[in-house]
Amino acid sequence: MAIFTGTVANDSYLATTEGDNVRGLAGNDTLTGNSGSDTLNGNSDNDLLFADSLTQTAGGNDSLFGGQGNDTLVGARFGFSADSLGGNRDADLLIASTNGGNTLFGGQGDDTIYGSLSNGNTMNGDLGNDVLVAGRGNDRMLGADGNDTLLVVL
């Protein structure tokens, strides 16, 4: 396991295969996990976080946290991992992509949360006017405070 810490500039990091802790700090960062169970934290500014790379065949159970700024968080695109995605502040986009039971938490701001690509997700918009989209699976949607829109796509 390694710890990577970014700078105040726009950083790009690809985690190793051991389950890493990656912190972007300031700047518009792109942080990408790998096959281990990674923790990615974008911190401030507008960050792009991926639970895994496009070249791997399976990922671990990852935790992605956007921080301040309009962040995009994408859960694992391969395998059956159960990822946790937390947007925190501002208007965030959270996408669950695998067949695992993912947890997606929008936080403050007007968030868009997609669980439609997988099943067994728990989606919580929290504060703000959020849009939550579920698919065919056994998903749970919680709008909380604000004028929220809950959609089911079949």
Q: Taking the CB of residue 91, how many other CB atoms lie within 10 A of it?
A: 18
pLDDT tens per residue, range 113-152: 998 666 788 999 999 999 999 987 788 999 989 999 999 9
Q: Bigger pLDDT: 1 or 40? A: 40
Residues 6+ apart with CB under 8 A from 38: 15, 19, 20, 21, 22, 51, 60, 62, 63
pTM of the entire predicted model: 0.91
Instruction: Report how far apart, in Å, the C-alpha atoms of 75 and of each of 7, 9, 63, 120 are.
Output: 24, 24, 9, 14
Percent of all residues in the chain with a pLDDT value above 90, rounded to a whole number: 60
**Cβ pair 72, 82 in contact under 8 A:** no
